[in-house]
Structure 1
Amino acid sequence: MLIRDAEIFGRTRCDLRIEGVRIAEIGNLPARPHELVIEARGGALLPGLHDHHIHLAALAAQRSSVKCGPPQVTDADALVRALQVPGSGWLRAIGFHESVLGGALPDAAMLDRIVPDRPLRLQHRTGRMWLLNSPALAQLLAVAAPPPGLERGGNGFTGCLFDEDAWLQRALGSLPPDFGEVSAELARFGVTGVTDMSPRNDPVIARHFAQQRAQGRLVQSPVLAGSLTLAEAEQDGWRLGPLKLHLHEAALPDFDEALGFIRAGHAQGRALAVHCVTEVELVFTLALIEAAGAMPGDRIEHVSVASPELVERMTELGLHICVQPHFIAERGDRYLADVEPRHHSDLYRLRTFREAGLSMAGGSDAPYGSADPWRAMAAAVCRRTPSGALIGPDEALTPEEALALYLADPLDLSQTRGIAPGRPADLCLLGLPWSKARNRLSSADVTATICAGVLVYQRVDQAPFERLASAYASP
């Protein structure tokens, strides 16, 4: 494959040839007989984007789910309307936030009044909690004993199921979903690699990833973070990522047990990745890492609230950070309402981390945020909430710095992937030069995506490639 007349990332306009899964040469290159030629016409050719924090199975399952949280659903009446779905089988709803019900979580009795005649499971926006109605409880408990995470009330179970996805999956007898649709969507955004950050990833889900890769259903190159047992799985079509620790301020783990968990991961040669969305969670995490000893590549996910003092401690430990700039564009107004004013300047920092020398990468956290990395880049530059309010304008990045969040090496966030002979042929071609694209930061500008030397996406309104005419063929 030859990409002709591209504005190659870090270089001038020239041609690039791909042989197999790698970049073969760059320069002024003549086309070969029968070679597939992509006419870039001066468009920017970038390394393929990598989503450093995503939940693919949940994103795929979202396609068959009812959205029941902001911005689609913002009050009780809208929740009732959203859940009026014809049918008799399981109803799966996602994205719920307690702000919809004035700060309350619905119990089984309340959900029964909305959906009385079919089993309902309503997922909280965090992804860690399911809210079940009585038909759902009855069906699940008929086939499985109640797990520790199923909350009890005065008259039995409340319907709140916390951190029990593995139990729920077994009780439902469900299989991991197909990734084909979400993989195609990511390809349209120019994404050629993903790091799946689901804390329960184990050898079973690893086999599913391997199968999806082998069947061509997942075209992106995956890195899997997850459990300690994940290290036992054969790395077939995927690479082993960090050990994932998912904290929740209301139910922090025993410190010594968490410390043992981290040390066991380090003993496997794996860095640690910790979910931190509150100041308390970040303080707890830093104390753990200070006690365990930091390992190169240890990272913190989200870092939603970080005071200058905590930033200094992260810097001293040499931690890496995975950020979600688009959360301000999606939820910023709620942050301003819910977070103490003294912490507003600490929300979703970017510039401060960069100037402190902390290595950063960007991740979508999809389906709990938009999977479009270009929206995240735009949000990193403008820092505006849905209403147009600014959060931490001094934390904004330049377009080039925002792009760099998605060019980091997934196994070493301190390194930036580039375009050079011998490098993997994972590429994102834009339909215009970077000097124009930087002012738009839109996935609509992605013209073609190449994963491991294969053209996996081309924009349909402007086919960018042509096969040389037969007259060029060798006799």
Structure 2
Amino acid sequence: MSDTVFRDVELPEGRRDVVMRGGIVADITAPGTAAGATIIDGRGGALLPGLHDHHLHLHAMAAAADSVRCGPPDVTDLDALESALVAAQGDWIRGVGYTETVGGLLDRASVDLLVPDRPVRIQHRSGALWILNSPASELVGLDRGTHPGIERDANGIPTGRLWRADDWLRAHLPHSPPPDLRAVGQQLTRSGITGVTDATPDLSSATLDALVTAHRIGAVPQRLQLLGVGIDDTPSFDDTITVGPYKIVIADSALPDLEDLADTIRRAHARRRPVAVHCVSRVALALLLAVFDDVGVLAGDRIEHGSIIGADAIADLAARGLRVVTQPGFVADRGDDYLRRVDAGDLPDLYRCRSLLAGGVHTAMSSDAPYGPLDPWVVIAAAVQRRAPTGEIVGAGERVTAADALDGYLAPLDDPGGPPRRVQVGADADLVLLDRPLADALAAPAAQRVRCTVIAGQVLVE
């Protein structure tokens, strides 16, 4: 078995040679002393453990790449939205990234005015809402639909808005194969990401099979943790794919019955499976904490997003041992919109980072791609700067150091917010080589470049 040597790379203990063998870090020696069949000259660049994105959506990322952009910065008003939709190719038009600043909260009638003669479905940039025009509504049988997320007017007629109804919509769309994930895997690899948590809830057997197949054929070489595997499902994977906490969505468009939520958490806990709860509002967090008071907390229980967390809730989160998987990249991506539309009293509580860490809450960084920016270095820069697209600062008190933000990407997939992984003998050879020393990379994280990404000892980018 031949060795691969990273020669003259920067580690916390200084410049060293790092030897990979059989998918693990086999040796760390003084610079210039290790020998191997393959030599990669680090030229003093930092060698880090591969980064982990603790919350994203792989199939949605692939689908978004082939969809019409319907929101800023590409589209900023209804005229531009109409032009983008009309120019789209194909029998169906799929739009993504819409937000109310473009033209208010769309419904069936307003999309009909833009495109009356072709089926159109537009996703809100939150991912929580789809809007269908009349041709699309007719083709999927919206009038006959029974999903609770199908919004209806006072006369019982569907408005074209579907809230948290992805599963229903997917089942009623014309059949199409799962999107090719190869470009997504390549994008992750170029960013230095070696492990991801797919946070899509309620994965169907076909979607689960497609994700597993994409990983096994190397389209997505990253290690996978899946939150959307059913509570009662027990699929068998190899050690590069794991079943994570069970994903639960608290949708603010239809808050759950407290007892139903408690029963779901109890069922997961009874199977020794933590839960990962989508929680984006103050009300949702209060409901969730009340339920945890009733059912108890299992090690590994986590809150997804934690978009608004009041200062008085931080100690409660820490005392319960709850983790928060957050996305400060949203501040950089849409902070100007937050400043206009979020209540001023909520702005200090938005996508907290520093206060959670200071309060002893295990906090991990993630992208929520495609709904937030994928690039981890952009997210790290956002956590440091808290700067909106307009240049305004959103929550200056929640700024963290670049080193702390990077640590949020270095935690194990099964321990988000836990101790950061380190390059050490015996560790998995999941590595990323930067083109500069770590201090320089942290001084300007958004400007850094990944030279080389390694997963299980296989060099994927060089």
TM-score interval for Structure 1 and Structure 2 normalised by the shorter chain: over 0.9
Residue 231 of structure 1 contacts residue 240 of structure 1 at CA under 8 Å; is this kept in 2? no
2:298 maps to 1:295:
yes
**Normalization by structure 2: what TM-score?**
0.94
State the AA in 1 paired with 2:54.
Answer: H
How far does residue 30 in structure 1 lie from its aligned partner after superposition?
4.3
Alignment of 1:340-355 (within 5 A): 340-355=343-358
Q: Following TM superposition, where does structure 1 have runs of at least 4 consecutive aligned residues deviating by more than 4 angstroms?
A: 29-33, 142-146
User: What does residue 361 of structure 1 align with?
Assistant: 364
How far does residue 122 in structure 1 lie from its aligned partner after superposition?
0.6
How far does residue 204 in structure 1 lie from its aligned partner after superposition?
3.4
Alpha-carbon distance change, 362 to 441 in structure 1, aligned in 2, over 3 angstroms: same
Alpha-carbon distance change, 268 to 443 in structure 1, aligned in 2, over 3 angstroms: farther
User: What does residue 51 of structure 2 align with?
Assistant: 49
**424-433 or 104-113: bigger deviation:** 104-113
Residue 164 of structure 2 contacts residue 251 of structure 2 at CA under 8 Å; is this kept in 1? no
State the AA in 1 paired with 2:167.
Answer: A
Alpha-carbon distance change, 443 to 195 in structure 1, aligned in 2, over 3 angstroms: farther
User: What does residue 62 of structure 1 align with?
Assistant: 64
Structure 1 CA distance, aligned partners of 2:45 and 2:427? 20
Residue 228 of structure 1 contacts residue 265 of structure 1 at CA under 8 Å; is this kept in 2? no
Structure 2 CA distance, aligned partners of 1:410 and 1:155? 45
Structure 2 CA distance, aligned partners of 1:270 and 1:423? 26
**80-89 or 290-299: bigger deviation:** 80-89
Residue 226 of structure 2 contacts residue 242 of structure 2 at CA under 8 Å; is this kept in 1? yes
Residue 193 of structure 1 contacts residue 221 of structure 1 at CA under 8 Å; is this kept in 2? yes
**372-381 or 161-170: bigger deviation:** 161-170
Residue 203 of structure 1 contacts residue 232 of structure 1 at CA under 8 Å; is this kept in 2? no
User: What does residue 455 of structure 1 align with?
Assistant: 459
Structure 1 CA distance, aligned partners of 2:214 and 2:353? 35
State the AA in 1 paired with 2:119.
Answer: P
Helix, strand or coil for the counterpart of 2:346? helix
Deviations 1:414-444 (A, max 9, x none): 2321111111110010011112111110364
Helix, strand or coil for the counterpart of 1:201? coil
User: What does residue 207 of structure 2 align with?
Assistant: 205
Q: Which of 423, 426, 441 is matched with 1:422 structurally?
A: 426
**70-79 or 349-358: bigger deviation:** 70-79
Deviations 1:312-344 (A, max 9, x none): 211111111111111111111211222222222
Helix, strand or coil for the counterpart of 1:245? strand
Q: Which of 23, 26, 31 is matched with 1:24 structurally?
A: 26
Residue 53 of structure 1 contacts residue 364 of structure 1 at CA under 8 Å; is this kept in 2? yes
Residue 22 of structure 1 contacts residue 423 of structure 1 at CA under 8 Å; is this kept in 2? yes
Deviations 1:116-175 (A, max 9, x none): 221111111121221111111121129985544323333732211222222222222233
Structure 2 CA distance, aligned partners of 1:195 and 1:98? 29
State the AA in 1 paired with 2:446.
Answer: S
Matched-pair identity in %: 41
User: What does residue 331 of structure 1 align with?
Assistant: 334
How far does residue 89 in structure 1 lie from its aligned partner after superposition?
0.3
**333-342 or 428-437: bigger deviation:** 333-342
Structure 1 CA distance, aligned partners of 2:397 and 2:125? 29
- Unmatched 5+ stretches in structure 1: 459-475
State the AA in 1 paired with 2:160.
Answer: G
State the AA in 2 paired with 1:178.
Answer: D
Deviations 1:2-47 (A, max 9, x none): 1100002x321110111121111111364546x1111001000001
Deviations 1:67-100 (A, max 9, x none): 1012322222222122122545011001111222
Residue 203 of structure 1 contacts residue 230 of structure 1 at CA under 8 Å; is this kept in 2? no
Q: Which of 243, 268, 273 is matched with 2:276 structurally?
A: 273
Residue 143 of structure 2 contacts residue 157 of structure 2 at CA under 8 Å; is this kept in 1? no
Residue 229 of structure 2 contacts residue 243 of structure 2 at CA under 8 Å; is this kept in 1? no
Alignment of 1:114-263 (within 5 A): 114-141=114-141, 147-153=147-153, 154=155, 156-172=157-173, 173-229=175-231, 231-236=233-238, 237-263=240-266
Residue 144 of structure 1 contacts residue 171 of structure 1 at CA under 8 Å; is this kept in 2? no
Helix, strand or coil for the counterpart of 1:95? strand
Count the aligned residue pairs.
Answer: 454
Helix, strand or coil for the counterpart of 1:130? strand
**427-436 or 198-207: bigger deviation:** 198-207
How far does residue 50 in structure 1 lie from its aligned partner after superposition?
0.3
- Unmatched 5+ stretches in structure 2: none
**Normalization by structure 1: what TM-score?**
0.91
